[in-house]
Amino acid sequence: MKTLTKILLALVLFFVVLGVAGGAILGIFFDPNEYKTEIEKAALDNAGIELKIGGEIGWSVYPWLGLELNQLNLRYAGKAQLASLEQAQLAVSIPALFSGQVKMQSLQVNGLDLSLQQDKSGNNWSGDQAKQPESDTATDSADSSKAAPLAIDIESVVISDANIRYNDKLSGSQFILSRFNMNSGRIALQQYFPAELSFHAEQLGADGKTIQIASDTRLKANFLLDIEKQHYQVNGLDAIFDLSGALLPKPMQLKLHSDIEADLEPQQAVIKNLAIEIDDLELSGDLQLKNFAKPQLSGELAIAEFDPKKLLKALGQPEIETTDPDVLRRVSLSTKLAGTTDSISLNPLSLKLDDTRFNGSIGYGLTSGALKLKLKGDAIDADRYLPPQPEQTEAAKSEQSASGPAAKGERYSKQPVIPVEPLKALNLDADLALGKLKVNKMDLSQLQLEVSAKNGLVNARRINADMYGGTIRNSATLDVRKTPVRISGTKDIRNIQIGDVLKDLMDKDMVTGNLSAKSDISAEGRSVYDIVHSMNGTASVQMKDGVLKDIDIAYTVCEGMNKISAFGINPEPVDRSTPFANLSASTKIVNGVVNNPDLKANLDAMVLNGKGSIDLPKESLDYRLGLIIEENLFKQSCSINNKIEGIEWPVNCKGGFDDDPAKMCRPDLSGFKDAFKQKAKAELKDKYGDKVESKKTELKEKKTELKDKLKEKLGGEEKAKELLKGLF
């Protein structure tokens, strides 16, 4: 047995020595450079690749099967150059291969230049399909699944100065990856190994010159490869992207950290401990991807509180000026993310803006472009976010007035203000609500906006709010599907305390009352000019239980009548307010002309009537007001008799919008004259009515008697006619 063992060991030693000696002899006497032409021909015949080996081919046989290639160029026949390579080196351990292992020395690739091009004739990275060897995919898959995985052990991988260019001439997009460098530690399966890489990437514009966005990237992480279980991990990924380009306002830096785990067999990947930093903005979260064929994304994302004004300044954007400089300083967000290749949603979503919190959801269709919003906020003071009002000098105000629409002769612009194409493309379904809102010093509550837009039809079904003891219920539609564009809207205002509104809006205590109004108006066109000229509809207004403060109409009437000396009025103001029980008016609008036939206000013991029209296209008005005193309330405010009771005091207001209002309205003197005549006749009838009628009857009887006597003297009626005829 010992002799047999010695013989076997001797045979093994003999074959080892023979292999080493044979490899050494093969390396000495066989020069692969002598076969460059045959190698290039084989590449062309078998793969359709035009291979040019410009440098030396170096190799070794034992114990490392090594290969060194220099100055390679390759392309598919009849196509643009695909790749070039300065140098590549690899060495595989032959003894390790005998034991089912792939053990390699450092794999080095230097000066790789890969150029990928796409145009209408095809691309340069795939050859003639007719020359491609046929393969049995099912058989290959079966064989690969049965084959035991090789144990890979590589000292390191070094890739230096690699460049990749992708040029899609069909879409006009170009992508360049340059200065790509990679260094890894020892690579072994089912063991973590470190790796670092860096590169410069550019996305060019359609002109092929403008850099839309560029990134200098540095990355390092620990990697794990389990080919047998198809399990891969990246731990402690740290990446820095220095970004620049035309799409960015200024250069910026993005930092990324995460842990990534992927399992190919169940088709799922997980990104944990995700953290992204861009200046003052920090995003964190965890994401999960399932079903690579039909991806399903889920996870949680959060944006830590940041200062939007500070971020915009860091990004080189103009500063947002607000009335309150302390707003737009704190914004944060948290949400759950879900998505597919067709859509993405954030639900639930929590957004905080300074002291205001919004809750709801956002959904977006990646293929349809449909945006769905549902947000509800608690309270916000919008006045704090408005831009500050600049202080204007009197000269600036005069200049602004002189440059207004009236000065230019064009009050209503003919320039389109409704963007048709963007509205046709808009696909929106929004439901927005807010508990409390302060805007223009007014307080509103329970606001609701419900609007949908699709295929050019924008329908705001609800534009609602509660304010000052009353409600506002509005709706509007905008239809841009046809020409001309159609606009319509309804308004329903009920029981708003108008005095409180004016106090907050204008800081003036002018009037009190309960205001209600309705309107139903439509128009056509895209410009203000078209809308004004095509406006049609109806509107009505009613105000109850009101008081006009600081305006005593009774005293004002007395003061005005004091100029008529015949009445000897001596006004003495008592109360500087005018109560009214009811004010109402209705209008009909036809092509921009607003007609009001029935303005009526019961002002204490007076009645104010009005009728007329406002012509918006012609920028003019023609309106008549009439005041009727129903009883002698002047006993409370001035000394006057009751002769003016029941008389309508008319005032005509007529002129253009730019006329002096003080000169636009004048008393109708003819109306005063007629009113006094009627009043005088009425008073005479009341006082002397019976006597006047008796006198008229007596005169009539005497006239008849004289006529009869004259006929007798002339010889009868026929004779009298003949005499008169001859006379004339």
pLDDT, tens only, 424-455: 999 999 999 999 999 988 999 999 999 999 99
Same domain, 379 and 319: yes
Which residue from 191, 263, 248 is spatially nearest to 223, judged by alpha carbons?
191
pLDDT beyond 70 at 718? no
Work out the angle at residue 595's Cα, subtended by the Cα atoms of residues 493 and 414, and round it to the nearest 5 degrees.
Answer: 85
The pLDDT score that the predictor gives to residue 631 is 58
pLDDT, tens only, 50-76: 889 899 888 877 677 788 889 999 998
The pLDDT score that the predictor gives to residue 254 is 95
Q: Say which range, 58-62, 158-162, 640-644, has the weakest mean pLDDT.
A: 640-644
Cα distance between residue 54 and residue 363, in whole Å: 57
pLDDT beyond 60 at 110? yes
The pLDDT score that the predictor gives to residue 62 is 66
pLDDT, tens only, 477-487: 999 999 999 99
Residue 699: inside a domain: yes
pLDDT, tens only, 230-249: 999 999 999 999 999 998 88
The pLDDT score that the predictor gives to residue 289 is 95
Residue 504: inside a domain: yes
Structural domain harbouring 703: 682-727
Torsion of CA 573, 574, 579, 585, to 10 degrees: -10
Both tokens of residue 314?
A: 């860091």
pLDDT beyond 70 at 304? yes
Tell me the average pLDDT across 95-113: 83
Same domain, 632 and 696: no
Are the C-beta atoms of residues 670 and 652 closer than 8 Å to each other? no
Same domain, 382 and 449: no
Count of domains observed in the chain: 5
pTM (predicted TM-score):
0.72
Same domain, 85 and 181: yes
Question: Which of the pair, 3 or 499, is modelled with greater confidence?
Answer: 499
pLDDT beyond 50 at 511? yes
**369 HSE (CA, 13 A, CB side):** 9
Same domain, 113 and 193: yes
Cα distance between residue 679 and residue 31, in whole Å: 135
Both tokens of residue 28?
A: 């000495």
Residue 480: count of CB within 10 angstroms of its CB: 23
Cβ contacts of residue 255 below 8 Å, gap of 6+?
238, 239, 240, 241, 275, 276, 277, 278
Amino acid at 202: E
Residue 133: inside a domain: no
Question: Which of the pair, 500 or 720, is modelled with greater confidence?
Answer: 500
The pLDDT score that the predictor gives to residue 642 is 54
* Residue keyed to tokens 């990004």: 315
Which residue from 199, 212, 204 is spatially nearest to 172, judged by alpha carbons?
204
Cα distance between residue 83 and residue 163, in whole Å: 10
Residue 65: inside a domain: yes
Question: Which of the pair, 325 or 641, is modelled with greater confidence?
Answer: 325
The pLDDT score that the predictor gives to residue 685 is 59
375: left (phi over 0), alpha (psi -120 to 50) or beta: beta
Cβ contacts of residue 67 below 8 Å, gap of 6+?
57, 58, 59, 88, 89, 90, 91
**Considering the chain, what percentage of its residues have pLDDT values greater than 90?**
47
Tell me the average pLDDT across 85-112: 84
pLDDT beyond 60 at 5? no
Same domain, 574 and 512: no
The pLDDT score that the predictor gives to residue 10 is 39
Residue 10: inside a domain: no
The pLDDT score that the predictor gives to residue 31 is 76
Count H helices, E strands: the chain?
14, 38
Tell me the average pLDDT across 332-345: 95
Same domain, 652 and 606: yes
Residue 469: inside a domain: yes
Torsion of CA 277, 278, 281, 287, to 10 degrees: -50
pLDDT beyond 80 at 28? no
Residue 523: count of CB within 10 angstroms of its CB: 21
The pLDDT score that the predictor gives to residue 150 is 63
* Residue keyed to tokens 């002047």: 634
Domain boundary among 503, 534, 565: 534
Tell me the average pLDDT across 656-664: 79
Same domain, 469 and 612: no
Q: Residue 203: pLDDT band by 50, 70, 90 thresholds? A: very high
Same domain, 710 and 651: no
Q: Residue 20: pLDDT band by 50, 70, 90 thresholds? A: very low
pLDDT, tens only, 269-280: 999 999 999 988
Same domain, 495 and 579: no
Are the C-beta atoms of residues 459 and 428 closer than 8 Å to each other? no
Mean pLDDT of all residues in the chain?
A: 81
Are the C-beta atoms of residues 512 and 546 closer than 8 Å to each other? yes
Same domain, 553 and 525: no
Q: Residue 406: pLDDT band by 50, 70, 90 thresholds? A: very low
Tell me the average pLDDT across 19-34: 54
**Cα 286 to chain center, whole Å?**
28
Domain boundary among 642, 667, 692: 667
Same domain, 84 and 177: yes
Residue 672: inside a domain: no
Question: Which of the pair, 318 or 641, is modelled with greater confidence?
Answer: 318
Residue 102: inside a domain: yes
The pLDDT score that the predictor gives to residue 675 is 56
Tell me the average pLDDT across 121-146: 58
pLDDT beyond 60 at 146? no
pLDDT, tens only, 357-396: 999 999 999 989 999 999 999 999 999 999 988 765 555 5
